[in-house]
Amino acid sequence: MPTFAIRLACLTGRLLLTPAAVATLIVVFLAAIVLTDGAGSGLAAWLTALGIGTVAALWRGRRRIRAARLVPFLPVVVAAALTASVCVPTAPTARQYPPDLPFVATQHWSLATGSRVAVYHYPPANTGARRPVPLVYLNGGPVRGISMLDHRFLQLLARQGYDVYTYEQAGGGRSDLLPMDQYTISRSVRDLAAFVDRLDKGRVDILGFSGGGVVLTRALADTRVAARLHRAIIAEPGPMDGPTARIAGHKGRPSARGLAPAMTGPRSTHVPRYAVAFGLMRLGLLTPDTGLIGQAEGDNAFTAADLGSDTASAYCARDAHRIPTEDTAQNFSFSPAASLRVQQTVKDSPSISPELGRSRTPAMLMIAECSSQVRQWATAILADDPAIQRTQYMPGVGHRMWNGLDDNNDRAAAVIDAFLQAGPAPVPNYPTRDDVPAFLDARK
């Protein structure tokens, strides 16, 4: 009996040794991916792991009989097969742009900065109430296509008499890609100035949402760009600079994150190649211009379902089971690498508080009750920008304030219209600068 137990233990150990060896080689492969930054579509890391595995197998089999010498190579073969899937593209490596939308023409403008962006124009549908100043919309992302929800909201503003222009920022949607090292928050601000110049309609009103709100805030801090702006609306902004990005504060009322049903549809992150690439990039272990996947391939592969709970976090908890479809599969576009690159340049930037403190452009801040943004990202702007004339705390909505649910679009449009026309605000001016300490203490 003891002999049988010993043999069983030895057999079990040998059986466990194979998966352990496979796992070790996979770890070696991933470490090599990081060390080589995915060079050669991961081939350099694959050859490194294969070489290490082969040397180890030869060493283990050096004293075995000829047939038994092949046994140590089994985990090498298995690991090589598993990791090879990370090195083989399954999405097109040349950019596949979304098809044109059926309800609005896609124009392509070449800006003085060198960016070539996709532009959409919604002329005022109500000629009787035509607004004299053009309205430019900056969507969030930061490098993302304009969603169908946004397009519907812009159509609503056009029906109210606004001459609405919007563009997908360089690298997003139908706009041309940039070299990865050119995606910076400063470039985004310069593109905005160049777009207004190309529009050639004088000063414009700007509505910047989320990442677009960051671009707008930094534009207000640049006197040369701010001179092109008539009025500014900063809606649900991200962090405006490095010091703000490092603030560890609370968010708004509970969102639908963790409550909403999981998003359906294909996910690139279910494919080993993109799961590894996007995962390591998000952890900061791969650079946005990694050699593992190209920018175009990553854009083609990424799907709406890959956003996961990020979409649910943009809605109030009460809306968890009725979150609308924000976009179509054909129109959805998100550039994960370029977005990370822009976000990193924000985090690395010095404070813009002194420059923002000299802003004179009339501005309004919009914040949502169930915001998924850190509250101090918005209140820091309120504290630093003396030209903010009113803050509109929007009850009953999350980060995605215009979402097609109930009367949310109409309420957001009413707030925007009242400010741009210098009319009375439909909701209280709250929080004011003096209200901020109590507002943050109440964790609203």
Specify the amino acid at residue 91.
A
Contact 80, 50 (CB under 8 A): yes
Q: Is residue 17 part of a domain?
A: yes
pLDDT at 66: 62
pLDDT the model gives residue 146: 98
| Residue 67 CB-half CA count within 13 A | 0
Is 257 within the bounds of a domain?
A: yes
Q: Can you give the pLDDT at residue 130?
A: 83
Residues 183 and 265 in one domain: yes
pLDDT confidence band for 75 (50 / 70 / 90): confident
DSSP string, 283-298: TTSS-TT-SSS-HHHH
Measured CA to CA, the distance from residue 9 to residue 57 in angstroms comes to 22
Number of domains in the chain: 2
- Same-domain check for residues 113 and 10: no
**What are the pLDDT digits (tens) for 185-205?**
999 999 999 999 999 999 999
What pLDDT digit, counting tens, does each position of 249-264 carry?
889 999 999 999 988 8
pLDDT digits (tens, 9 = 90+) for 369-378: 999 999 999 9
Is there a domain that residue 276 lies in? no
Give pLDDT, residue 70: 59
What is the distance between the alpha carbons of residues 88 and 30, in angstroms, rounded to a whole number? 15
Domain residue limits at 27: 2-84
What average pLDDT score do residues 169-186 get? 97
Q: How confident is the model at residue 128 (pLDDT cuts 50, 70, 90)?
A: confident
Same domain for 404 and 320? Answer: yes
- Give me the CATH number covering residue 122: 3.40.50.1820
Rounded average pLDDT over 230-253: 95
Q: What is the model's pLDDT at position 76?
A: 78
Question: Rounded mean pLDDT of the chain?
Answer: 91
- Position 62 scores a pLDDT of 61
Domain annotation covers residue 287: no
Last residue of a domain, one of 30, 52, 84: 84
Identify the DSSP state of 264. P
Q: Quick check: is 239 in a domain?
A: yes
* 404 within some domain: yes
What does the pLDDT average to over 407-413?
A: 98
Kindly give, in sequence order, each residue whose CB lies less than 8 Å from that of residue 5, ignoring residues fewer than 6 positions away: none
The whole-number pLDDT of residue 16 equals: 44
Q: Region 101-114: what's the mean pLDDT?
A: 97
Is residue 404 within 8 A of residue 149, CB to CB? The reply is yes
Is there a single domain that holds both residue 118 and residue 33?
no
Q: Are residues 183 and 44 in the same domain?
A: no
Res 13 pLDDT > 70: no
Mean pLDDT of 63-89: 77
Residues 16 and 51 in one domain: yes
pLDDT at 338 over 80: yes
- pLDDT over 60 at 14, yes or no: no
Same domain assignment for residues 113 and 37: no
Tell me if 147 is assigned to some domain: yes
Q: Are residues 11 and 147 in the same domain?
A: no
Q: 412: pLDDT confidence band, cut at 50, 70 and 90?
A: very high
C-alpha–C-alpha distance, residues 400 and 420, integer Å: 21
Q: Is 280 a member of any domain?
A: no
| Burial classification of residue 104, based on how many CB atoms lie within 10 Å of its CB (0-12 exposed, 13-18 middle, 19 or more buried) | middle
Beta bridge partner(s), residue 394: 368
**In a shared domain, residues 76 and 37:** yes
Same domain, 431 and 324: yes
CA distances from 403 to 180, 275, 309, 413 (A): 32, 30, 17, 12
The pLDDT tens digits of the residues spanning 286-331 come to 999 999 999 999 999 999 999 988 899 999 999 999 999 999 999 9
Verify that 133 and 253 share a domain, yes or no.
yes
∠ CA 172-281-334, rounded to 5°: 20
Phi, psi dihedral angles at 416 (to 5 degrees) = -65, -45
Q: Same domain, yes or no, for 70 and 121?
A: no
Looking at residue 385, its pLDDT comes to 97
